[in-house]
Amino acid sequence: MYISPKQNGQNIFVFHIKMIYFDLKRIKVGF
């Protein structure tokens, strides 16, 4: 994923939210 310097902060924020969401989904499926 290419991140331009201008949108760096926002993209990292969205990326972290997606990672947390997928982790929660994986935990829900795991249990």
Domain ranges of the chain: 1-30
Instruction: Please tell me which residue, 28 or 19, carries the higher pLDDT value.
Output: 19
| 7: confidence class by pLDDT, cuts 50, 70, 90 | low
Instruction: Please give the pLDDT value at position 11.
Output: 75
Q: What is the pTM (predicted TM-score) of this model?
A: 0.47
Give residue 12's pLDDT.
Answer: 80
Q: Which residue has the higher pLDDT, 29 or 14?
A: 14
Residues 6+ apart with CB under 8 A from 3: 11, 12
pLDDT of residue 31: 59
**Cα 28 to Cα 21: distance, rounded to the nearest angstrom:** 11
